[in-house]
Amino acid sequence: MARTKLGGGSIYFSNAEYFANIRTWLAKHQNIKLEVGVRERMNDGMRMLLGYKDENDEKERSFIRPFFQNWAEVFEHVHEVCPDVVGLEIYFPTLFLADAWDAQTFANFGKFSKLREFKVNGVALLTTVPQVWKHDLRKLKKLVLMSCHDLKHFDVLDAFVGLEALKVMYCSKVMEVPDSLSSLKALKELDLRECSGLNELPNVFHELANLEKINMMGCSQVKELPSTFGQLYKLTSLNLGYCAMLEQLPATFGNLNNSLQKLILEKCKELRELPSSLGEFSKLKMLDLEGCKMLKELPQFGASMEELEVLNINNCGVKLPPSLALCPKLIYFDARNNSSLEQKEQEIIYDGDEDALNYLQTKLVDAADVERAEAAKQSRKRHREVYSEEEFDESEED
């Protein structure tokens, strides 16, 4: 099966005859993103679409193998039909991969001269990135290796000098990120989520001056971050959720105070302290500390914390800082199940409720700050009217 993605629609085709029939259609469209692969199961509608006569035949599960001898031949036909393809996704279930990945498989990749996006999803027996990619995929902007459960190394990064997004996700046997990461000068997004075996990061982040987003959610063996994290002056989003072994952030973390907007530390169960400089992060909009049970104290939120909109200390051990009620854009605050708070405070979920807001101001604000707190309260009301929770939606299309 191959599937083109154009706008919100998809077109499925299954054999050489289908490829020939849609050649004219493809020629009329630019910037095609193509998906090639096999599925383990097909529903009745898909079987009918692809011309399978026996809907009860569970043995026939491949969309493409009945028509092609090997995957090198598949890629040859893909190129023949769509030579200007800019995006290519390959997905295979384990069942079909005993002989799928060798040098010959990628013999035709050099023909995809315009390829900008390449995604490999669910490929078993792929333990390292093939060397041929170094020569054939030099123009890539986005590389995704997803659910490749045998992958251990991806050390050919020095060839992808124009790469802007690198996503190595759900690859549990990857234990380290190669030093060649430093060669990706144009990199804007690094996604290592659920690489649960990853235990070490190279100290080369000072070389990645354009990096804006890092997602390490579920990297449960990482104990510390390199000091060069503090030199990511364009970093806006950092997700360290479920990094269960992480004990602290680097001393240089305060250098991100003028760029970082979103910090997720959810379920960092060993995290014991936050840098005091965090209270001066002037661009920070979201701080998620849910489940950080070893954390006992939040930094004081200074006057510069005017952008904070979301604070989650659910199931956490921190006390509420008095300055919390002075944040003029705070529109969501969760302090449930917090062992250091009184019962009434634990029940607070502040999402614009007037009573909760009044309680916070009564409890936290001293006499000298009453006027400022009232101004912040009115500001929060106005800000809530234009706030969109979609800005913090974690779901992304890869």
**Each residue's pLDDT tens digit, 363-383:** 777 766 777 778 887 888 787
Higher-confidence residue of 333 and 227: namely 227
Residue 137 lies in a domain: yes
Quick one: pLDDT at residue 237?
Answer: 98
List % helix, strand, coil for the chain (3-state, nearest 5). 30, 15, 55
Quick one: pLDDT at residue 185?
Answer: 95
Quick one: pLDDT at residue 207?
Answer: 97
SS3 label, residue 19: helix
Higher-confidence residue of 343 and 232: namely 232
pLDDT greater than 50 at residue 211: yes
Q: What's the rounded Cα separation, in Å, for the pair 258 and 122?
A: 39
Residue 374 lies in a domain: no
Which residue range forms the structural domain that includes residue 81? 1-145
Question: Considering the chain, what is the average pLDDT of its residues?
Answer: 75
Quick one: pLDDT at residue 62?
Answer: 35
User: Worst-scoring range by mean pLDDT, 85-94, 132-141, 270-279, 345-354?
Assistant: 85-94
Quick one: pLDDT at residue 45?
Answer: 32
Written in H, E and C, the secondary structure of 56-86 is: CCCCCCCCCCCCCCCHHHHHHHHHHHCCCCC
Question: Among the ranges 87-91, 186-190, 273-277, 346-350, which has the highest mean pLDDT value?
Answer: 186-190
Residue 371 lies in a domain: no
**Each residue's pLDDT tens digit, 61-115:** 333 333 445 566 666 766 666 667 676 666 543 333 333 455 556 666 667 777 8
Residue 117 lies in a domain: yes
Our count of domains for the chain comes to: 1
Confidence of residue 177 (pLDDT cuts 50, 70, 90): very high
pTM reported for the whole predicted model: 0.80
Residue 15 lies in a domain: yes
Share of the chain above pLDDT 70, in %: 66
Quick one: pLDDT at residue 397?
Answer: 43
Q: Pairing between strand 9-13 and 213-215?
A: unpaired
Quick one: pLDDT at residue 104?
Answer: 59
Residue 88 lies in a domain: yes
Quick one: pLDDT at residue 69?
Answer: 54
Residue 151 lies in a domain: no
Residue 110 lies in a domain: yes
pLDDT greater than 50 at residue 23: no
Higher-confidence residue of 64 and 147: namely 147
Exposure of 138 by Cβ count < 10 A (0-12 exposed, 13-18 middle, 19+ buried)? middle
163 half-sphere exposure, CB direction, 13 A CA radius: 25
Quick one: pLDDT at residue 364?
Answer: 72
Higher-confidence residue of 31 and 169: namely 169
